[in-house]
Amino acid sequence: MTSERDAMLSRLAGGSVDVLVVGGGINGAVAAAALAGHGVQVALVDRADFASGVSSHSSNLAWGGIKYLESGEWRLVRKLCLSRNRLMDAFPSTVREIRFFTSIQRGFRMWSVLVWLGALLYWLMGNCRMSAPRFLRRKTIIAEAPVINASEVVGGLEYSDCYLFDNDSRFVFNFIRRAMDAGATAANYTEVTALEFSSDQQHWQVSLRDCEANRDLQLTAKVVINATGPNVDRLNATVGVDTEHHHLLSKGVHLIVDRVTPLAKVLTFFASDGRLFFVIPMGPKTCIGTTDTQVARAEVSVSNEDRDFVLANANALLELPEPLTRDDIIAERVGVRPLAIAGADTSRDWVQLSRKHQLEIDDDRHFISIFGGKLTDCLNVGEELVAAVSQLGVITRSPEQRWYGEPDATDRRRFLERAQHLALDELTEDGVSEPLSLRFWRRYGNYANELLDTIGEHPDKAKLVIPEAEYTHAELELMSRREMIVHFDDFLRRRSKIALVVPGRSLRKESTLRGAARLLFGDSAAAKLAEYLEG
Ligand SMILES: Cc1cc2nc3c(=O)[nH]c(=O)nc-3n(C[C@H](O)[C@H](O)[C@H](O)COP(=O)(O)OP(=O)(O)OC[C@H]3O[C@@H](n4cnc5c(N)ncnc54)[C@H](O)[C@@H]3O)c2cc1C
């Protein structure tokens, strides 16, 4: 049987599209979803897996950027708060409110009352959509969050923002899935190797390489969107596109360790370097970070210095039974923030740089570059790109339905009624964190109906496949059909967060993964499993 990826590559080969999106991180994903939703013929390619760049290394937060109040970026904060609210309304089961429990240490650059007033302003700027902030006295912090080392704490505050329930990369993939459902062509492991603009024909001649089969494809596109995140400048240089904006890159590291507190809140501190430091619940684990180090290249890895910075801060700020050591690290996340900067002056203090995104349009060569941005701001990026593409002469039409968001309440109700009729939740295995029906709906939207069909016929397919990971047989079959999983890591690290929460010593075993390999890869199971275990 032809895989969906093969079918997509066949469509690309020798074809022509209105718009080619290069890069399948959040910016590329929303570009494809918004354009496809507006009737544009769009193709998206990523040289690795979708969301394998920065978009799988974020803090998983959809937030209004409270910290930018300090640098007086009122408009940015207001915009991000409204973007967060829109995401929350559009993705009610994925983008969820969470409380941020912030403690202020003695000697901090601002009084805690002032910080609290900032949180109040922040709440107002978000149209009071979240629960109201509250001022925390030292004794309240000690009583409610005994895990916090209160020896130097003078007070604090609690306020709300949002987090992405499953993970950032799954959130991104769901935009790509939606784009494909609206007619877009998308392929992972497909690199753009050459781009040449023909002034006569007013289109781009694109050379692509299918990195899996090592074969070259040709395509023409009226417009090209460079959504390669930290690699935007590099691709622009290759193509000879000059831009006013460029990127400064800042490395951010998170470490994942066993759960340090049962408190389902983000603990927020100011680290030893004065910047924000988070202790974030991540399913059965805790994610701690982050660092903020300026780097010259997009390719980064976690150094011992990074690990020690994060661990030292966690140990100083938390009251733990035993200090965390490198041996406690279950998984690591490392990415670079692409920060947009006007001009070529790279001597600016990057910490002060705005997190605003910036589109640059080359009208003559029909080329759009996306600089900076955040997951939180993604809907605005999608909409601005539709306007930009239309400015370049591509015909767009008003969508019949919203190009983003979970299916509507009627679809959800129908799904839940069907699930109830099947007594699906009674098949939820012991010790699992939530009922099957809620989990299926959040992860797969209307595709969850296919799971009901499968489990209705074969109730045993509601059984979990990998110990400690909440994925059923039926889900893996569905993911194998619908989620363009080419390598094991695509499933374990990006469509799911299994590789982040299940320690490698129990996960990276033939006996643990054999069943999953068979469901995901069929005849190629043994080879894909060996590739993962040897990798
Ligand atoms: C530590 C950290 C924490 C963060 N936390 C948050 C947060 O909590 N909330 C928030 O809103 N934002 C957060 N951000 C910011 C956010 O994650 C990024 O701004 C966003 O993910 C960038 O997305 P992107 O699509 O621009 O880039 P990427 O996700 O890097 O996507 C670019 C894609 O292009 C592909 N590519 C590159 N070159 C080519 C080529 N030649 N051909 C084909 N494909 C190519 C890459 O493989 C990659 O998949 C954080 C960032 C960091 C680093």
pLDDT digits (tens, 9 = 90+) for 379-436: 999 999 999 999 999 999 998 889 999 999 999 999 999 999 999 999 999 989 999 9
Residues 441 and 505 in one domain: yes
Strands (E), 75-202: 95-105, 134-136, 153-164, 185-187, 190-198
Place of tokens 């194998």: 480
Question: How many whole angstroms separate alpha carbon 384 and alpha carbon 375?
Answer: 15
- Residue ranges of the chain with per-residue pLDDT less than 70: 1-2, 344-354
Whether residue 194 contacts residue 52, with contact meaning beta carbons closer than 8 Å, is answered with no
Q: Distance, CA 25 to ligand 1 centroid (Å)?
A: 5
Q: Which of 98, 374, 377, 385 to mutate to test the pocket of ligand 1 (most atoms within 8 A of CB)?
A: 374
Q: Distance, CA 26 to ligand 1 centroid (Å)?
A: 6
* Alpha-helical runs (H) found in 318-447: 378-391, 409-421, 436-444
pLDDT of res. 400:
85
The domain spanning residue 127 has which CATH number? Answer: 3.30.9.10
Does some domain include residue 320?
Answer: yes
How many beta carbons lie within 10 A of that of residue 53, not counting itself? 28
E strand or H helix at 312: helix 304-317
Query: Crossing angle, helix 448-457 and helix 436-444, to 10 degrees?
Result: 140
Whether residue 60 contacts residue 168, with contact meaning beta carbons closer than 8 Å, is answered with yes
pLDDT of res. 114:
86
> Model ipTM?
0.99
Residues 40 and 158 in one domain: no
Which atom of ligand 1 is found nearest the CA of 370? 26
Does some domain include residue 79?
Answer: no
Does some domain include residue 60?
Answer: no
Question: How many whole angstroms separate alpha carbon 502 and alpha carbon 492?
Answer: 10
Which residue(s) pair with 269 in the sheet?
277
- 336 touches ligand 1 (CB under 6 Å): yes
Residues 525 and 442 in one domain: yes
Cα dist from 121 to 114, 115, 277, whole Å: 11, 10, 21
Question: How many whole angstroms separate alpha carbon 42 and alpha carbon 448?
Answer: 26
Q: Distance, CA 21 to ligand 1 centroid (Å)?
A: 14
Which atom of ligand 1 is found nearest the CA of 190? 43
Q: Distance, CA 393 to ligand 1 centroid (Å)?
A: 28
Does some domain include residue 396?
Answer: no
- 373 touches ligand 1 (CB under 6 Å): yes
Amino acid at 199: S
Which residues span the domain enclosing 444? 409-534
Residues 428 and 354 in one domain: no
Does some domain include residue 65?
Answer: no
Q: Which of 209, 266, 337, 493 to mutate to test the pocket of ligand 1 (most atoms within 8 A of CB)?
A: 337
- 84 touches ligand 1 (CB under 6 Å): no
Residues 454 and 529 in one domain: yes
Pairing, β 15-22 against β 293-295: unpaired
Question: How many whole angstroms separate alpha carbon 211 and alpha carbon 48?
Answer: 8
E strand or H helix at 19: strand 15-22
- 366 touches ligand 1 (CB under 6 Å): no
Whether residue 375 contacts residue 95, with contact meaning beta carbons closer than 8 Å, is answered with no
Q: Is 422 helix (H, G, I), strand (E, B) or coil?
A: coil
Residues 267 and 118 in one domain: yes
Domain count, the chain: 3
- Chain Cα centroid distance, residue 148: 28
Does some domain include residue 75?
Answer: no
Residues 48 and 151 in one domain: no
pLDDT of res. 348:
60
Residues 149 and 220 in one domain: no
Residues 455 and 413 in one domain: yes
Question: How many whole angstroms separate alpha carbon 530 and alpha carbon 534?
Answer: 6
Residues 233 and 265 in one domain: no
The domain spanning residue 182 has which CATH number? Answer: 3.50.50.60
Q: How do the residues of the chain divide into helix, strand and coil, expressed in percent and rounded to 5? A: 40, 25, 35
Residue nearest to atom 9 of ligand 1 (CA): 61
Question: How many whole angstroms separate alpha carbon 381 and alpha carbon 395?
Answer: 18
Does some domain include residue 277?
Answer: yes
Domain end: 303, 318, 340, which one?
A: 340
Q: Distance, CA 243 to ligand 1 centroid (Å)?
A: 20
Does some domain include residue 88?
Answer: no
Q: Which of 21, 50, 59, 246 to mutate to test the pocket of ligand 1 (most atoms within 8 A of CB)?
A: 59
- Dig out the tokens for 342 from the structure: 């006007």
Question: How many whole angstroms separate alpha carbon 231 and alpha carbon 334?
Answer: 16
Q: Distance, CA 506 to ligand 1 centroid (Å)?
A: 29
Residues 310 and 358 in one domain: no
Residue nearest to atom 3 of ligand 1 (CA): 58
pLDDT of res. 227:
98
pLDDT of res. 1:
58
Residues 423 and 495 in one domain: yes
